[in-house]
Amino acid sequence: MPELPEVESLRLLLNLAVAGRVIDRVEIREPRLRRLIDLQLSKALSGRSIRGIERRAKYLLFDLGEVVLLIHLGMSGSLTHRKAPRAFSDAEPAGGGHDSIAARLDPRHDHVRFVLDDSSELVYNDPRRFGLIKLLPRAEANAADELKELGPDALDEKFNEAYLTVKARGRRVAIKNLLMDQRVVAGLGNIYAAEALFRAGVRPGRRAAGLKRSEICRIVGATADLLKDAIGAGGTSFRNYLDARGRPGRFSSRLMVYGRAGERCYVCSTLIRTRVLGQRSSFYCPRCQE
């Protein structure tokens, strides 16, 4: 699932590509995502200008004036900006397409198309259909079920040593699971929680309550540095993630532990280990992480 760096990288590119453009119409080919898309979406959005795009955790929020379009990519979603339009067709072969982006994405999974006033398109593609597209009144956006319980963003100054110390106090949960709890800190998932803990030198299975203040300080600092590095590289691509231009993220080659069980640590040459925490595989170096 795309995490904070992937969604932020996507937001930055989309802002450059479509901010100021007007939505001409919305074509819905498959409304059955995580929740059913409102078939009146085109009527509600036609003629609205995209004033800008914000991000909350792993959600994109399109500022359309009185309303906000909320988009979550789910497990396999992508939102790409395409220059040349083409009609939906069930007969199109997988991998075929009108441009380099379409060549990388199976057009059978192009479920929603936002046609803009310059004839370019934002196309939502999602093979597993776990994503979300939802229209909200601006005044009610912060109270939406998806956003109201989110903790501070992992790049927000509110996510600091003092905050994480309070959240860890008395908690028997593993520190990696605490970091992945979106109510505690928003935007981190399995990849970046594992990588941040490696940079901080803390094992993922350590109980949150047992961490020293110095370790919490390292975790907070390592998280911020890691996310900024990942955003600069366009995020990490596993399986389906592509940015707005249809390109994979370039941070995959810089991962130190995630997905490397049985391989040598780049720092100390010890074999990377894995264990299951919260039903997720957690990767770590037994020598570099205490």
pLDDT at 104 over 90: no
Give the integer Cα–Cα distance in Å for 131 and 210: 37
pLDDT at 98 over 50: no
**Active-site residue flag, 280:** yes
Q: What is the CATH number of domain 4-143?
A: 3.20.190.10
For the chain, what is the mean pLDDT?
90
What is the residue extent of each domain of the chain? 4-143, 161-284
Q: Which of 55, 58, 113, 218 is catalytic?
A: 58
Q: Is 139 exposed, middle or buried (0-12, 13-18, 19+ CB in 10 A)?
A: exposed
pLDDT at 83 over 90: no
Name the maximum alpha-carbon separation found in the chain: 60
pLDDT given at position 22: 98
Taking only the tens place, the pLDDT of each residue in 168-216 is 999 999 999 999 999 999 999 999 999 999 999 999 999 999 999 999 9
**DSSP string over 156-171:** STTSSHHHHHHHHTT-
DSSP-based three-state secondary structure for 213: helix
**What is the identity of the amino acid at 181?**
D
Give the integer Cα–Cα distance in Å for 10 and 237: 12
Taking only the tens place, the pLDDT of each residue in 218-276 is 999 999 999 999 998 877 755 555 665 666 656 888 999 999 999 999 999 999 999 99
DSSP-based three-state secondary structure for 36: strand
Q: Which of 128, 171, 247, 280 is catalytic?
A: 280
| Long-range CB contacts for residues 33-38, cutoff 8 Å, separation at least 24 | 33/74, 33/111, 33/126, 33/129, 33/130, 33/131, 33/132, 33/133, 34/72, 34/74, 34/129, 34/130, 34/131, 34/132, 35/132, 35/134, 37/112, 37/133, 38/134, 38/135
Q: Are 79 and 73 in contact (CB under 8 A)?
A: yes
pLDDT given at position 24: 97
Structure letter (DSSP) for residue 272: P
Tokens matching residue 190: 């399995």
What's this model's pTM, rounded to 2 decimal places?
0.87
Question: Domain 161-284 has what CATH class?
Answer: mainly alpha
**Active-site residue flag, 58:** yes
pLDDT given at position 289: 98
pLDDT over 90 percentage in the chain: 81
**Active-site residue flag, 2:** yes
Give the integer Cα–Cα distance in Å for 112 and 7: 18
**Active-site residue flag, 85:** no
Closest CA to 162 of 199, 201, 203, 216: 216
Give the integer Cα–Cα distance in Å for 94 and 254: 31
Q: How many CB atoms lie under 10 A from the CB of residue 273?
A: 17
Give the integer Cα–Cα distance in Å for 55 and 61: 6
Tokens matching residue 161: 């040593």
pLDDT given at position 91: 44
Q: Which of 3, 6, 121, 215 is catalytic?
A: 3
Residue with the two structure tokens 């940015």: 243
